Amino acid sequence: MIKDCKICGISDPKILNYIINHSNPPKFIGFICNYPKSSRYVETNNLKKLLNVNKNNSKFVAVLVKPNNDILEKIKNLPFDYYQLYDCTPDEIKIIKQKYQKKIITALTIKDELDVLRYKSFIDVTDVYLFDSKGYEKSHSFDHNLIKNIKLNKELMLAGNIKFDDNLKNYDKIADYLDLSGGLETSGLKDTSKIDIFLNNINKLKNETKEENSSN
């Protein structure tokens, strides 16, 4: 059941301000902290300026690809609520979680069933699972049937080629949260009109779910 969403790859202060102050802000906002190959990467000094805002009700997420001690130390005092970790072992995540006292989104890139089954190794160190497509930049999709029947005791976030105007009910039985970045862009830049439609659609689905639950 979709509870809320994450908007990822924010680098523009104006876009961040728009999202934070939207009438239906996302639960999570993600920032690319250590992956310079990404067009959405934000260098640490710029990140400090970007994050010097009132988060209101949103949670800030540091997106990190196999982070080293250097980047972890540089961002440790920034107002992140979650670390989203790619390409880390369970032991590495455990050390990061204990040292920096952050909630963890374990990001697993999915192509086949073997990729999905890796989630079992991370149960003890994960707060939220993110099932993403292969490739950090290109919005590919993967077969969502691979994850339809797994039994998680943690919340599940879904990413990979999800569009701003998709029928959200298609994902309602799969995930707790939807994670969009490229699906909210036009010509490589975040598009406020697409963001607005997506956030309003998420809110509409949440309200419909509440009504269904109250009538049962």
Q: Which domain holds residue 31?
A: 4-215
Reduce the DSSP state of residue 193 to 3 states and report it. helix
Mean pLDDT of 5-10: 98
CATH code: domain of residue 133: 3.20.20.70
Distance CA 213, CA 125 (A): 31
Distance CA 198, CA 183 (A): 10
Read out DSSP for 93-140?
HHHHHHHH--EEEEEEEESSHHHHHGGGGGTTT-SEEEEEESSSSS--
Average pLDDT, the chain: 93
In this prediction, residue 194 has a pLDDT band, given cuts at 50, 70 and 90, of very high
Tens of pLDDT, residues 24-53: 999 999 999 999 999 999 999 999 999 999
Q: What pTM did the predictor assign? A: 0.95
CA proximity to 205, closest of 161, 173, 158: 173
The number of folded domains in the chain is 1
Tens of pLDDT, residues 57-72: 999 999 999 999 999 9
Distance CA 2, CA 172 (A): 5
Q: How many percent of the chain have pLDDT more than 70?
A: 97
* CB distance 10 to 41 below 8 Å: no
Tens of pLDDT, residues 80-118: 999 999 999 999 999 999 999 999 999 999 988 899 989
Cα separation values, 47 from 32, 39, 74, Å: 9, 14, 10
